[in-house]
Amino acid sequence: MDIKNPLYKNQGIHVVLALFTAEEGKVKVFLIKRKNQPFKDKWILLGGACYNNEDVDSAMKREMLEKAGLKNIKFKMFNVYSKPDRSPVCRMIAIAYIGVIDANRVKFLKETTKTQDADWFLIDRIPNLGYDHQEILGDAIEFLKGQIFDTNILKDLFPKYFTLPSLHKAYESILNKHVDRRNFRKRLLQKNIIIDTGKIESANGKKPSKLYMFAD
């Protein structure tokens, strides 16, 4: 590597997180609104630039804390985005992560020195995003679709105990299609993704529902 070669100069790394939650079976993603250029006043996924003295996972944790006040969020890398023109500032390669949380367990900052707003958005009602975050979000949703029937990736999306109808709604929201309820429970139990706890949810005048939990 010839460090004097101008083709190596002016490059950086972005870390970007598609953070999902569910509310009444509807899946949402966390977005922040930029305060500064580029893409001032645009909504984007949570993230920012990596410092040259930190690894990308540390950068993602720092960006979550600085721009949303979030910490102790589990995430995993799912893709890399490297188009030379994805940022108007300089060549920025994006390391994209995905995470899921129960929004009722966390509080976030609505405004910081670099953001003017933050909120949860339904995945079918997303505003026009800055950078290439529309593409990243679309890929994150597809990645989530590919994981939900084979892993417990949605574990942190729900409380410890949940009803099957609430889980079924979340699956239909993510997949954006009807999921046969008769085979839904059988499929997840057979793959050891969920466990029947034997507990019953308090009825409050309605038919009691069985409670389930995610397997480890």
Q: What are the sequence ranges of the domains in the chain?
A: 6-147, 160-214
Structure confidence at residue 182 (pLDDT): 84
- Whether 203 shows a pLDDT value over 80: the answer reads no
- Same topology, domains 6-147 and 160-214? Answer is no
Within the chain, residue ranges assigned H as helices are 56-68, 133-147, 164-175, 181-190
Better-scored residue on pLDDT, 2 or 188: 188
Grade residue 206 by pLDDT with cuts at 50, 70 and 90: low
pLDDT digits (tens, 9 = 90+) for 104-148: 888 999 999 999 999 999 998 999 999 999 999 999 999 999 999
Q: 133-147 vs 164-175: helix axis angle to the nearest 10?
A: 130
Interval 59-82 mean pLDDT: 96
pLDDT digits (tens, 9 = 90+) for 11-24: 999 999 999 998 87
Can you name the CATH fold of 6-147? Nucleoside Triphosphate Pyrophosphohydrolase (3.90.79)
pLDDT digits (tens, 9 = 90+) for 150-162: 999 999 888 889 9
- Tokens 């893709």 sit at which residue? 79
Considering the chain, what is the average pLDDT of its residues? Answer: 92
pTM for the structure as a whole? 0.89
CATH of 160-214 among 1.10.150.120, 3.40.50.10470, 1.10.10.10, 3.40.50.300? 1.10.10.10
Structure confidence at residue 6 (pLDDT): 85
Give the separation between CA 91 and CA 11, rounded to whole angstroms.
Answer: 5
Question: For residue 105, how many other CB atoms are within 10 A of its CB?
Answer: 10
